[in-house]
Amino acid sequence: MLSFGTAGCNSGCRFCQNFDIAKARIIDKLSVGASPEKIAQVVASRGIDSVAFTYNDPIVFAEYAIDTAQACRALGIHPIAVTAGYMSAEARPDFYAAMDAANIDLKGFTEDFYWKVTGTHLADVLATIDHAVNEARTPEGEHVWVELTTLLIPGLNDDDAQLHAECTWIGKHLGPDVPLHFSAFHPSYRIMDVPPTPHETLTRARAIALAEGLHYVYAGNVHDREGDTTYCPNPQCHAKLIERDWYRIIADRLSASSGGNGHCPQCGTAIAGRW
Protein backbone atom coordinates (compact mmCIF):
# COMPACT_ATOMS: atom_id res chain seq x y z
CA MET A 1 0.00 0.00 0.00
CA LEU A 2 1.12 3.53 -0.82
CA SER A 3 0.11 6.14 1.76
CA PHE A 4 0.18 9.87 1.16
CA GLY A 5 -1.41 13.13 2.25
CA THR A 6 -1.24 16.89 1.84
CA ALA A 7 -1.50 19.41 4.67
CA GLY A 8 -4.15 20.97 6.85
CA CYS A 9 -7.20 19.55 8.60
CA ASN A 10 -10.80 20.51 9.34
CA SER A 11 -10.60 19.11 12.88
CA GLY A 12 -8.76 20.71 15.80
CA CYS A 13 -7.80 17.61 17.79
CA ARG A 14 -5.70 18.55 20.80
CA PHE A 15 -4.04 15.12 20.69
CA CYS A 16 -3.16 15.16 16.96
CA GLN A 17 -0.44 12.62 16.18
CA ASN A 18 0.37 14.30 12.85
CA PHE A 19 0.16 17.94 13.94
CA ASP A 20 3.31 18.87 11.99
CA ILE A 21 1.37 18.00 8.82
CA ALA A 22 -2.16 18.91 9.88
CA LYS A 23 -1.06 22.33 11.16
CA ALA A 24 1.62 22.99 8.52
CA ARG A 25 2.08 26.54 7.32
CA ILE A 26 4.95 26.06 4.87
CA ILE A 27 3.65 23.12 2.88
CA ASP A 28 4.39 24.93 -0.39
CA LYS A 29 8.10 24.69 0.44
CA LEU A 30 8.04 21.07 1.56
CA SER A 31 5.58 19.30 -0.73
CA VAL A 32 6.10 17.54 -4.03
CA GLY A 33 3.57 17.99 -6.79
CA ALA A 34 1.92 14.92 -8.31
CA SER A 35 -1.08 14.61 -10.57
CA PRO A 36 -3.69 11.90 -9.89
CA GLU A 37 -2.55 10.07 -13.01
CA LYS A 38 1.10 10.23 -11.95
CA ILE A 39 0.30 8.75 -8.54
CA ALA A 40 -1.66 5.91 -10.13
CA GLN A 41 1.14 5.20 -12.61
CA VAL A 42 3.82 5.11 -9.90
CA VAL A 43 1.73 2.78 -7.76
CA ALA A 44 1.02 0.45 -10.68
CA SER A 45 4.69 0.39 -11.74
CA ARG A 46 5.65 -0.89 -8.30
CA GLY A 47 3.04 -3.62 -8.21
CA ILE A 48 1.12 -2.02 -5.34
CA ASP A 49 -2.61 -2.71 -5.27
CA SER A 50 -3.94 0.00 -2.93
CA VAL A 51 -3.51 3.69 -2.09
CA ALA A 52 -4.45 5.28 1.24
CA PHE A 53 -5.25 8.98 1.62
CA THR A 54 -4.04 9.61 5.16
CA TYR A 55 -1.75 11.58 7.55
CA ASN A 56 -4.07 14.58 7.23
CA ASP A 57 -7.78 14.24 6.56
CA PRO A 58 -8.50 13.67 2.85
CA ILE A 59 -11.75 15.58 3.28
CA VAL A 60 -9.71 18.81 3.03
CA PHE A 61 -8.45 17.74 -0.39
CA ALA A 62 -11.60 15.89 -1.40
CA GLU A 63 -11.55 16.81 -5.10
CA TYR A 64 -7.92 15.75 -5.45
CA ALA A 65 -8.62 12.54 -3.51
CA ILE A 66 -11.61 11.72 -5.73
CA ASP A 67 -9.64 12.37 -8.92
CA THR A 68 -6.76 10.24 -7.64
CA ALA A 69 -9.13 7.47 -6.58
CA GLN A 70 -10.63 7.39 -10.07
CA ALA A 71 -7.21 7.31 -11.71
CA CYS A 72 -6.15 4.48 -9.42
CA ARG A 73 -9.31 2.49 -9.99
CA ALA A 74 -8.77 2.70 -13.74
CA LEU A 75 -5.54 0.74 -13.21
CA GLY A 76 -7.06 -1.79 -10.82
CA ILE A 77 -5.74 -0.07 -7.68
CA HIS A 78 -7.97 0.19 -4.60
CA PRO A 79 -8.44 3.68 -3.06
CA ILE A 80 -8.80 3.87 0.73
CA ALA A 81 -9.70 6.89 2.88
CA VAL A 82 -8.37 7.33 6.42
CA THR A 83 -10.53 10.08 7.86
CA ALA A 84 -12.25 11.59 10.89
CA GLY A 85 -15.54 11.67 9.00
CA TYR A 86 -16.33 15.31 9.78
CA MET A 87 -18.01 16.53 6.61
CA SER A 88 -21.27 17.87 5.27
CA ALA A 89 -24.15 15.74 4.04
CA GLU A 90 -23.73 17.24 0.56
CA ALA A 91 -20.08 16.11 0.32
CA ARG A 92 -20.53 12.53 1.55
CA PRO A 93 -21.99 10.82 -1.53
CA ASP A 94 -19.29 11.87 -4.01
CA PHE A 95 -16.44 11.30 -1.58
CA TYR A 96 -17.37 7.80 -0.42
CA ALA A 97 -18.55 6.64 -3.85
CA ALA A 98 -14.95 7.13 -5.01
CA MET A 99 -13.51 4.83 -2.32
CA ASP A 100 -13.30 1.08 -2.02
CA ALA A 101 -12.72 1.26 1.73
CA ALA A 102 -12.43 3.70 4.62
CA ASN A 103 -11.12 3.76 8.14
CA ILE A 104 -13.11 6.37 10.06
CA ASP A 105 -12.12 7.69 13.47
CA LEU A 106 -14.90 7.60 16.05
CA LYS A 107 -12.96 9.66 18.55
CA GLY A 108 -15.32 9.38 21.50
CA PHE A 109 -19.02 9.20 22.20
CA THR A 110 -20.12 12.44 23.84
CA GLU A 111 -20.70 15.83 22.26
CA ASP A 112 -18.79 17.39 25.16
CA PHE A 113 -15.65 15.40 24.29
CA TYR A 114 -15.95 16.09 20.58
CA TRP A 115 -16.41 19.83 20.96
CA LYS A 116 -13.83 20.45 23.70
CA VAL A 117 -11.12 18.10 22.46
CA THR A 118 -11.55 18.03 18.66
CA GLY A 119 -13.49 21.20 17.88
CA THR A 120 -16.04 19.19 15.89
CA HIS A 121 -19.44 17.60 16.51
CA LEU A 122 -20.32 13.98 17.25
CA ALA A 123 -23.63 14.01 15.37
CA ASP A 124 -21.95 14.96 12.08
CA VAL A 125 -19.42 12.15 12.41
CA LEU A 126 -22.11 9.59 13.25
CA ALA A 127 -24.08 10.70 10.19
CA THR A 128 -21.00 10.23 8.01
CA ILE A 129 -20.32 6.77 9.43
CA ASP A 130 -23.96 5.78 8.91
CA HIS A 131 -23.80 6.93 5.28
CA ALA A 132 -20.46 5.23 4.59
CA VAL A 133 -21.62 1.87 5.97
CA ASN A 134 -25.25 1.76 4.94
CA GLU A 135 -25.51 3.86 1.78
CA ALA A 136 -22.16 4.34 0.05
CA ARG A 137 -21.46 2.15 -2.97
CA THR A 138 -18.41 1.79 -5.18
CA PRO A 139 -18.79 2.36 -8.94
CA GLU A 140 -19.18 -1.42 -9.23
CA GLY A 141 -22.17 -1.29 -6.88
CA GLU A 142 -20.46 -2.94 -3.89
CA HIS A 143 -20.67 -1.66 -0.33
CA VAL A 144 -17.70 0.46 0.70
CA TRP A 145 -15.77 -1.52 3.30
CA VAL A 146 -15.62 0.52 6.53
CA GLU A 147 -13.66 0.05 9.75
CA LEU A 148 -13.74 2.29 12.82
CA THR A 149 -10.95 3.39 15.15
CA THR A 150 -11.26 4.90 18.63
CA LEU A 151 -8.11 6.28 20.27
CA LEU A 152 -8.63 5.82 24.01
CA ILE A 153 -7.32 8.77 26.03
CA PRO A 154 -7.17 8.17 29.80
CA GLY A 155 -9.79 10.19 31.65
CA LEU A 156 -11.32 11.72 28.53
CA ASN A 157 -13.11 9.04 26.50
CA ASP A 158 -12.29 5.70 28.11
CA ASP A 159 -15.06 5.36 30.73
CA ASP A 160 -17.43 2.40 30.62
CA ALA A 161 -20.48 4.57 29.89
CA GLN A 162 -18.99 6.00 26.70
CA LEU A 163 -17.70 2.62 25.58
CA HIS A 164 -21.04 0.90 26.12
CA ALA A 165 -22.90 3.73 24.36
CA GLU A 166 -20.52 3.63 21.40
CA CYS A 167 -20.72 -0.12 20.96
CA THR A 168 -24.50 -0.14 21.38
CA TRP A 169 -24.82 2.51 18.65
CA ILE A 170 -22.53 0.57 16.32
CA GLY A 171 -24.49 -2.64 16.79
CA LYS A 172 -27.85 -0.93 16.29
CA HIS A 173 -27.01 1.32 13.34
CA LEU A 174 -24.18 -0.50 11.56
CA GLY A 175 -24.46 -4.14 12.58
CA PRO A 176 -21.99 -6.41 14.37
CA ASP A 177 -19.61 -6.97 11.44
CA VAL A 178 -18.04 -3.49 11.19
CA PRO A 179 -14.54 -3.88 12.70
CA LEU A 180 -13.72 -1.65 15.65
CA HIS A 181 -10.13 -0.84 16.63
CA PHE A 182 -9.32 0.53 20.09
CA SER A 183 -5.91 2.22 19.89
CA ALA A 184 -3.50 3.30 22.59
CA PHE A 185 -2.90 7.02 23.08
CA HIS A 186 0.58 8.53 23.44
CA PRO A 187 1.09 12.13 24.65
CA SER A 188 1.25 14.50 21.71
CA TYR A 189 0.68 18.09 20.57
CA ARG A 190 -1.46 19.87 23.18
CA ILE A 191 -2.17 16.90 25.43
CA MET A 192 1.19 16.15 26.97
CA ASP A 193 0.01 15.89 30.57
CA VAL A 194 -2.01 12.68 30.12
CA PRO A 195 -0.19 9.34 30.44
CA PRO A 196 -0.21 6.71 27.71
CA THR A 197 -3.20 4.39 27.60
CA PRO A 198 -2.71 1.39 29.92
CA HIS A 199 -2.92 -1.95 28.16
CA GLU A 200 -5.66 -2.97 30.57
CA THR A 201 -7.87 -0.17 29.22
CA LEU A 202 -7.69 -1.62 25.71
CA THR A 203 -8.48 -5.07 27.08
CA ARG A 204 -11.46 -3.71 29.02
CA ALA A 205 -12.78 -1.79 26.03
CA ARG A 206 -12.46 -4.83 23.79
CA ALA A 207 -14.31 -6.98 26.34
CA ILE A 208 -17.15 -4.42 26.48
CA ALA A 209 -17.45 -4.35 22.69
CA LEU A 210 -17.52 -8.13 22.44
CA ALA A 211 -20.11 -8.31 25.22
CA GLU A 212 -22.22 -5.82 23.22
CA GLY A 213 -22.23 -8.31 20.37
CA LEU A 214 -19.62 -6.86 18.00
CA HIS A 215 -17.76 -9.57 16.08
CA TYR A 216 -14.44 -8.01 15.11
CA VAL A 217 -12.79 -5.92 17.83
CA TYR A 218 -9.08 -5.19 18.05
CA ALA A 219 -6.48 -3.61 20.32
CA GLY A 220 -4.11 -1.28 18.46
CA ASN A 221 -0.74 0.42 18.98
CA VAL A 222 0.33 -2.36 21.37
CA HIS A 223 1.65 -5.90 21.21
CA ASP A 224 -1.42 -8.02 21.92
CA ARG A 225 -1.75 -11.19 19.86
CA GLU A 226 -5.16 -12.04 21.28
CA GLY A 227 -6.44 -8.51 20.81
CA ASP A 228 -5.05 -8.32 17.27
CA THR A 229 -6.43 -11.66 16.10
CA THR A 230 -9.51 -12.19 13.95
CA TYR A 231 -11.70 -14.97 15.35
CA CYS A 232 -14.59 -16.81 13.75
CA PRO A 233 -17.77 -15.11 15.04
CA ASN A 234 -19.62 -18.44 15.25
CA PRO A 235 -19.86 -18.96 19.05
CA GLN A 236 -19.65 -22.74 18.57
CA CYS A 237 -16.37 -22.35 16.69
CA HIS A 238 -14.36 -19.23 17.62
CA ALA A 239 -11.37 -20.48 15.61
CA LYS A 240 -8.34 -18.24 15.20
CA LEU A 241 -8.41 -17.10 11.58
CA ILE A 242 -5.86 -14.30 11.20
CA GLU A 243 -3.26 -14.05 13.95
CA ARG A 244 -1.40 -10.75 14.22
CA ASP A 245 1.12 -9.08 16.47
CA TRP A 246 0.94 -5.30 16.01
CA TYR A 247 1.23 -4.98 12.20
CA ARG A 248 2.78 -8.39 11.61
CA ILE A 249 0.61 -11.27 10.36
CA ILE A 250 1.58 -14.51 12.11
CA ALA A 251 -0.92 -16.80 10.40
CA ASP A 252 -3.67 -16.40 7.79
CA ARG A 253 -6.17 -19.26 7.68
CA LEU A 254 -8.63 -17.31 5.55
CA SER A 255 -6.52 -17.45 2.41
CA ALA A 256 -7.63 -19.72 -0.42
CA SER A 257 -4.42 -21.72 -0.01
CA SER A 258 -5.45 -22.51 3.58
CA GLY A 259 -8.95 -23.56 2.59
CA GLY A 260 -10.58 -20.34 3.80
CA ASN A 261 -11.27 -18.03 0.85
CA GLY A 262 -13.36 -15.67 3.00
CA HIS A 263 -14.94 -18.42 5.11
CA CYS A 264 -13.83 -20.08 8.31
CA PRO A 265 -12.07 -23.27 7.16
CA GLN A 266 -13.20 -25.01 10.34
CA CYS A 267 -16.98 -24.38 10.33
CA GLY A 268 -17.68 -22.61 7.03
CA THR A 269 -18.98 -19.36 8.52
CA ALA A 270 -18.63 -16.38 6.14
CA ILE A 271 -16.18 -13.81 7.51
CA ALA A 272 -16.93 -10.15 6.83
CA GLY A 273 -14.22 -8.35 4.89
CA ARG A 274 -12.52 -8.14 1.51
CA TRP A 275 -10.52 -11.28 0.88
232-273 confidence digits (pLDDT tens): 999 999 999 999 998 899 999 997 777 778 999 999 999 999
CA dist., res. 72 & res. 58, Å (int): 16
Model confidence, pTM:
0.95
- For residue 83, which of 24, 134, 124 has the smallest C-alpha distance? 124
Instruction: Express each pLDDT in 198-222 by its tens digit.
Output: 999 999 999 999 999 999 999 999 9
How remote is the C-alpha of 202 from its chain's centroid? 17
Looking at per-residue confidence, does 162 or 274 come out higher?
162
pLDDT tens per residue across span 87-133:
999 999 999 999 999 999 999 999 999 999 999 999 999 999 999 99
Cα 244 to chain centroid distance, Å, stands at 17
Amino acid code (one letter) for 34: A
Give pLDDT, residue 25: 63
Q: What is the pLDDT of residues 23-32, one digit of tens each?
A: 776 555 566 7
Spatial separation of the C-alpha atoms in residues 143 and 130, rounded to whole Å: 12
**C-alpha separations of 3 from 53, 58, 213, 237 in Å:** 6, 11, 32, 36
pLDDT at 230: 97
When mean pLDDT is compared across 21-35, 52-66, 136-150, 235-249, the lowest value belongs to: 21-35
Which residues make beta-bridge pairs with 79? Answer: 51
pLDDT computed for residue 28 by the predictor: 54
Helix (H) / strand (E) element for 26: namely none
Residue 226, CB-side half-sphere exposure with 13 Å CA sphere = 7
- The candidate with the shortest Cα–Cα distance to 205, out of 191, 177, 231, 185, is 185
Using CB atoms within 10 A of its CB, is residue 106 exposed (0-12), middle (13-18) or buried (19+)? buried
Which of 142, 131, 136, 148 lies closest to 88, judged by CA? 131
